[in-house]
Amino acid sequence: MMWNEETKNNEEQKTAEQQEGSGEKPKKSGFLSEVFSWIQVIVVAAVLAFVLNNFIIANSVIPTGSMIPTIEENDRVIGSRLSYTFGEPDRGDIAIFRFGWICEHCKSAMGESPAPETCPLCGEAITRPKPLYYVKRVIGLPGDVIEIRREGSVRASELEEIPPGLVASPDDDTEIATAAVYVNGEKLEEPYLREPMIFTGSSPDEIQRYEVPEDCYFMLGDNRNNSGDARYWNNPYISKDQMIAKVLLRYFPNPALLK
């Protein structure tokens, strides 16, 4: 009986020690397991964000009013990269495209050219230039003939946007010649324009004509009277490899699908 009691006491002591020891290990193991789980979550989130931003979506802030009224200045939009990875741009698409570069030092933006070794404005060496992106609407597709013809007129006081130097002031009642866009000989209907497009030709009979090369696109802003678009570029065409994404929606400040 004495032996049995001793054995029992010894076994109870061992069991208590084992329980005490096993109680410490799970706590330590549980903490490390939780840390490892959080690391996994962070890594997966970072990888997903990288894949989304570089291969699936384009998240952009619009810095100017060149696409008013469709997109206002400082609107935030999301575009689909997949639209132009697996498909071709369509006429009427609102597209984000690469147009030039931004100096990492003076933040100056330069369009229509790759970044040089030295910034021509600040003189600093350029090692990490930021890409300069534009947002415009696709008007001309490869092989299209785009013509901007004089058509009608409007009083200056009826326009919200007037190019500088065209008339004395927005209240001026001077008749201003307007224009229309023709694609392959047919007038393009543009319901997204908020006001007539001002004719900017040098003579009343001038027709601004553009023949879109293969794998290139002709882009104009919706705010046609205040948009630095293809009409003013040295090279009026954007190549397919410059096209980044098709804009699908505005998520801030007024969420809406865009077309």
The confidence band for 47, taking pLDDT boundaries of 50, 70 and 90, is low
Residue 231 lies in a domain: no
Q: Is 138 inside a domain boundary?
A: no
Provide mean pLDDT across the span 78-87: 95
Residue 165 has pLDDT above 80, yes or no: no
Mean pLDDT over the full length of the chain: 86
* Confidence (pLDDT) at 183: 98
Q: Is the pLDDT of residue 63 over 90?
A: yes
Residue 128 lies in a domain: no
Question: Which pLDDT does position 8 carry in this prediction?
Answer: 47
Percent of the chain at pLDDT exceeding 90 = 67
Q: Does pLDDT of 162 surpass 90? A: no
**C-beta of residue 237 within 8 angstroms of C-beta of residue 216:** yes
pLDDT band at 203 (very low <50, low <70, confident <90, very high): confident
Cα torsion 118, 123, 124, 128 to 10°: value is -40
In this predicted structure, the answer to whether residue 110 has a pLDDT above a threshold of 80 is yes
What's the confidence (pLDDT) of residue 196?
Answer: 94
Decide the pairing of beta strands 237-239 and 208-211: unpaired
Q: Is residue 172 part of a domain?
A: no
Please check whether residue 178 lies inside any domain of the structure. no
SS3 per residue for the chain: CHHHHHHHHHHHHHHHHHHHHHHHHHHHHHHHHHHHHHHHHHHHHHHHHHHHHHHHEEEEECCCCCCCCCCCCCCEEEEECHHHHCCCCCCCCEEEEEEEEECCCCCCEEECCCCCCECCCCCCECCCCEEEEEEEEEEECCCCEEEEEEEEEEEHHHCCCCCCCCCCCCCCCCEEEEEEEEECCEECCCCCCCCCEECCCCCCCCCEEEECCCCEEEEECCCHHHCCCHHHCCCCEEEHHHEEEEEEEEEECCCEECC
Is residue 42 in a domain?
A: yes
Show the tokens assigned to 123: 């003189």
pLDDT of 53 reads 63
Phi and psi, residue 113, nearest 5°: -160, 150
**What is the number of domains present in the chain?**
1
Residue 1 has pLDDT above 50, yes or no: no
Residue 104 domain-assigned (yes or no): no
Q: Which of residues 148 and 159 earns the better pLDDT score?
A: 148
Residue 249 binned pLDDT confidence (cut-offs 50, 70, 90): very high
Residue 123 has a pLDDT of 94
Please check the confidence at residue 13 and state whether its pLDDT lies above 80.
no
On the question of pLDDT at 22 being above 80, the answer is no
Q: Write down the pLDDT at residue 55.
A: 62
For residue range 119-135, list pLDDT tens digits in order: 999 999 999 999 999 99
Please tell me which of 8-12, 202-206, 218-222 the model is most confident about, judged by mean pLDDT: 218-222
With 90 as the cut, is the pLDDT of residue 19 above it?
Answer: no
Task: Establish if 76 belongs to a structural domain.
Answer: no
Segment 60-65 long-range contacts (CB within 8 Å, at least 24 positions apart): 60/96, 60/133, 60/135, 60/247, 62/135, 65/223, 65/226
| Domain extent for 22 | 2-57
Mean of pLDDT values over 11-34: 58
Question: 3-7, 65-69, 114-118, 139-143 — which is least confidently predicted?
Answer: 3-7
